[in-house]
A = this chain, B = another copy of it.
């Protein structure tokens, strides 16, 4: 019998996310939650060693004096959320732009007048690594408190060799000091910086000849991403950058078809990207090509919500055509200022008509595949990392249904219990 350090038992629903389908889930498997009622999970070190009905698991493992036991009676257990598209390192919030948009200005107009990504670039360049780390830590705390245990984290507010390296080093340090796992993405091609605005070819050359080799050499990023959009990087430029990155061993991602139907989704298929993200304006051909090439569609309803725009990605069509979809916050100060994955699940259900089950698969196992970690995280199976969240609900459907609030009871990260982030009952007097 295996000696274990933590067991969670009696969960009214244990969502294992096991499925008959390997790889990212599609079609009917997109709703495969692998639910075990009265379920238990046993953990040794940072790994899951047993999963099943509570009595079965209790029969398999040895509970010693040092084994912590969590009774999850009347609670639901899920894998930790994998937030597979975030920009968590930034220097300034942009609430004034939020108000300008409400008053009628578009995202593009604000960008053209010196706001937008350029405003974040200016602010970020003026901060030290230490300052950026201090600013990012409470954001990661908040992510963890809402049930996220792994994130993808992008650079892209530096836009110079020095400042992009600085951002990626901040992400590396955050990964070291914070329980959340951060998977770094180099996004030097997020925007053309001010100093290159009349010389965009030079900036692209800088990315390809200096930044990509340097980031590769220092092993500071796993992924390379490009913001492929009208007025940012066109299809040709994006292709050139992504191919250079591929040659240096990066996996690829792409901001695609967000504000217009430029064809980023097809480019993602062509270059063999792991994911294409946004996809508000994807067309049928884009869906087909992504599907054939095994590219995951990462949907970011928070960016639509935060920008106050009505066009959401055509999630139902993608699902019906068999394209694997994942969900993420797109946490960033310009368009989606939320650290909360449950909020994104609510938006996915209400704005894109994904079912609660589909939304959970898309934000756990499918988003794990979207960061190329589908074999390590994203489901509750023996051998996987012990990243779990216990929810103060009796039915998983409550998670998107009860919107805008925090229903997390406990977060388990790498097999360790993170102190309960929320005590909703602190104000309780003596009830009758």
Contacts and interface: CB of A to CB of B under 8 A. Distances in A.
A431 B338 contact: no
B427 A419 contact: yes
A339 B426 contact: no
Contacts of A98: 349, 356, 397, 400-401
Interface in A351-370: 351, 353-356
A137, A339, A342, A405 — which one has the most chain B CB atoms within 10 A of its CB?
A405
A351 B102 CA distance: 9
Nearest to A404: B343
Interface string A409-432: 000000000111111111111111
Given A93-B401, A355-B102, A418 B429 contact: no
B133 A427 contact: no
Count the copies: 2
Contacts of A418: 426-427
A99 interface: yes
Contacts of A69: none
A317 interface: no
A196 interface: no
Interface of A: 93-96, 98-99, 102-103, 130, 133-134, 137-138, 140-142, 144-146, 173, 177-179, 305-306, 308, 337-340, 342-343, 346, 349-351, 353-356, 395, 397-398, 400-406, 418-432
Q: Which 7 A-B pairs have the closest CB atoms?
A: A343-B404, A95-B397, A98-B401, A95-B401, A340-B404, A338-B404, A419-B426
Given A99-B356, A338-B402, A343-B403, 19 more contacts: A95-B401, A99-B355, A102-B354, A102-B355, A102-B356, A133-B432, A137-B425, A141-B427, A142-B424, A144-B427, A177-B429, A177-B431, A306-B350, A306-B403, A308-B349, A337-B403, A343-B404, A421-B423, A421-B424
